[in-house]
Structure 1
Amino acid sequence: MRAAHVKFSIAACLMTILFLAITNYLTSPEHPWFLYPAFFLILYPVTMLLIYKKQSKLYSVICSLLTIGYLALINYFTSSDHLWVIYPAYLFLWWPITLYVGKWAKTVQYAVLVSLLTILYYGALNFLFSPDHPWVIYIAFLVLWWPIALHYSYKRNFFGLSIAGTILSALFFITANFITTPHTIWAIYPIFLMLWWPLSMYYFSYARKSKSE
């Protein structure tokens, strides 16, 4: 990729954004719709430039900040009374962080740290802005799969993974049942289905050992 291609992409995108902004102002100034295509038009030359320079880490930083800034603008212009940008912004920050930590991002310790920080962050948002329903349990259930799966996969202990995954799922279903509909016990149905996972893994391992003997 030549430098001339990068310069052309920058010039073309800037001209397109200017044209859309003028059109937006002349036709419908009450709503800045040109921001939607402008975001992707800005990403294009940034991608071209940083790929040309082989700066993947810097690319992750710039793209994350651009995305957060774009979402903040949309938040401001469409629903300024509700600060929803703080929910996805946290997730975009982990893209450059994960690249910069390098090989440590593949460890169980990193997975545990990120999972706990994620639960604490969204737990705080849950408590501050919508304490009437503890929706953080759904996020916690999802992110905890990461360190659990990583731990047992590195040990190649898939039976242990099935046990840990079943326990985590059972706790989640029981908690969700108690919070949402405490007068109707429905958690036993998905828990019963989840029990077949460790049972099948156990008998599969037992069958393999019997054949090997």
Structure 2
Amino acid sequence: MKGLVSFSIVGSAICMFFLVMLNYFLTPTLDWSIYPCIALLLWPLSMYFVYRQNLKQFAFFTSSVFIILLTVINLRETPNLLWVLYALYPLVFWPVFTAFGKKAYTMTAAVIGATTTIIYYALLNVAFSPNYPWVIAIIFAVGWWPLSLYHAKHKSFFSFSIQASIWISAFVIGMNWAFSPSVIWAIYPIFAVVWWPISLYFFSTKRHMTTL
């Protein structure tokens, strides 16, 4: 394994040198080689931390490389639009929750993680596109984290189907109201989702009657 780490360092260095030379001789006025060179750093970094079996440092350094790469691309190519802010949160979120270890699987971590995610993207939504409440989709996505974790630990699958159906229904109603209020289309997916808890109820009832 140690030999593979050394090979990745040498291979990455050779590739970066080749790309820089290619950039210099073919397109000297366009500095594009910086992007693949930063990405190539992930190869030896990944091999090194896998060899050391240190996932926390791997998450930290990999996230740092991506943050640097995306920030450089954003500031060089589109400095008037700070789209890197949308990718910044998950890149910071990954090493932070990796550092929590087993605590990251707790209900408290799920609630805190979902809440901070919603607050962060809600602020971005208000700051950059207040007329389009796309944060509704973020709320819907991260809401599954604590909801699923709670019912998985309690094995309350029927209750989960009810609450999940309500959650999906609230999401489609919110999307309908926010983006196309003149056309009431939310009723169609809600009708389909309702069959989930109904099916579970009759399945569990039939199985209970069979065992009597």
- Smaller-chain TM-score bracket: over 0.9
Moved more, 6-15 or 44-53: 6-15
Is the contact made by 2:39 and 2:69 (CA closer than 8 Å) also made in structure 1?
no
Q: Give the secondary structure class of the aligned counterpart of 1:144.
A: helix
| Structure 1 residues without counterparts, runs of 5 or longer | none
Q: Distance in 2 between matches of 1:160 and 1:29?
A: 63
1:48 is the counterpart of 2:47: yes
In the alignment, what sits opposite 1:183?
A: 182
For 2:137, the aligned partner's letter is Y
Q: Give the secondary structure class of the aligned counterpart of 2:41.
A: helix
| Displacement of 1:18 | 2.1
**5 Å matches for 1:113-152?**
113-152=112-151
| Structure 2 residues without counterparts, runs of 5 or longer | none
TM-score by length of 2: 0.95
* Distance verdict in 2 for CA 1:200–1:9, change over 3 Å: same
Moved more, 152-161 or 45-54: 45-54
Is the contact made by 2:125 and 2:133 (CA closer than 8 Å) also made in structure 1?
yes
Percentage of identical aligned residues: 39
For 2:169, the aligned partner's letter is A
Q: Deviations over 1:151-177 (max 9, x none)?
A: 111111111111111111111111111
Q: Deviations over 1:73-130 (max 9, x none)?
A: 1112221211111111110112211221111111122111101100000000000111
Q: Over aligned residues, Cα RMSD in angstroms? A: 1.4
Q: Deviations over 1:168-192 (max 9, x none)?
A: 1111111111111111111110000
| Displacement of 1:66 | 0.6
Moved more, 14-23 or 68-77: 14-23
For 2:166, the aligned partner's letter is I
Aligned residues between the structures: 212
1:31 is the counterpart of 2:30: yes
| Displacement of 1:22 | 2.3
